[in-house]
Chain A
Amino acid sequence: KAGVTQTPRYLIKTRGQQVTLSCSPISGHRSVSWYQQTPGQGLQFLFEYFSETQRNKGNFPGRFSGRQFSNSRSEMNVSTLELGDSALYLCASSSEGGSTIYFGEGSWLTVV
């Protein structure tokens, strides 16, 4: 079974731009969650989607948004990028009713 796949793996953006990151969950997994990882703040929960609906949301500004498609693939978008948004963005998936989450390799975002 293929694992969680994230694209792109690396990207560089300029302040003020916007970015879209993509995540394909493990086949059969319907829950997708997103996390931001930085050296100073650790792993922080962004949001979780289940069956195309946002089920939980962390404490991030409205510039951070996401969505999930009918095939469970998910995207997250960050608008008006700031230098502080530079981070590793991790997507994780889990099966319905399960708590174990499995991470993708992540997307490294650098904002310059």
Chain B
Amino acid sequence: GENVEQHPSTLSVQEGDSAVIKCTYSDSASNYFPWYKQELGKRPQLIIDIRSNVGEKKDQRIAVTLNKTAKHFSLHITETQPEDSAVYFCAASKGGNDMRFGAGTRLTVKP
């Protein structure tokens, strides 16, 4: 089955700096790659997603890139703010809703 690896497990940046989180997946049939943000005690919330027919997608300070050949995708957050502090999860699926998630990255943005 699909295996998603996520790095780093923790990331600490200074406010205003950029943060990059990377994921790799194993199943070449996966075609949908969402990113979720989970604040302490809350539900995971979708922040951005990308499909396999697209190489990059941006939404304000957040961008995701996908390299299908290498089977990896990355989340980029620019101009980080303290409210970006949370756990971020990447996931991969083959179009159904059986998402396979990475282990998560705890991002801390220091003011």
Contact = CB atoms under 8 A, between A and B. Distances in A.
Interface in A26-66: 31, 33, 35, 42-45, 48, 50, 55-56, 58-59
Interface residues of A, number: 24
Contacts, number: 62
Contacts of B42: 105
B54 interface: no
Of A92, A94, A99, A102, the most chain B CB neighbours within 10 A belong to A99
Contact of A33 (B46, B49, B99): B99
Given A42-B89, A100-B34, A90 B44 contact: yes
A47 B82 CA distance: 35
Interface in B1-56: 1, 32, 34, 36, 42-46, 49, 51
Interface residues of B, number: 24
Contact of B97 (A42, A44, A94, A106): A94
Given A100-B34, A100-B49, A33 B43 contact: no
Given A99-B93, A100-B46, A106-B43, A42 B34 contact: no
B104 A42 contact: yes
A28 B90 CA distance: 26
B98 to A, nearest CB: 4
Interface of B: 1, 32, 34, 36, 42-46, 49, 51, 89, 91, 93, 95-104
Interface of A: 31, 33, 35, 42-45, 48, 50, 55-56, 58-59, 90, 92, 94, 99-106
Given A45-B98, A56-B98, 18 more contacts: A33-B97, A33-B98, A35-B99, A42-B102, A42-B104, A43-B91, A44-B101, A45-B101, A50-B97, A58-B98, A99-B51, A100-B49, A101-B34, A102-B46, A103-B44, A103-B45, A104-B43, A105-B43
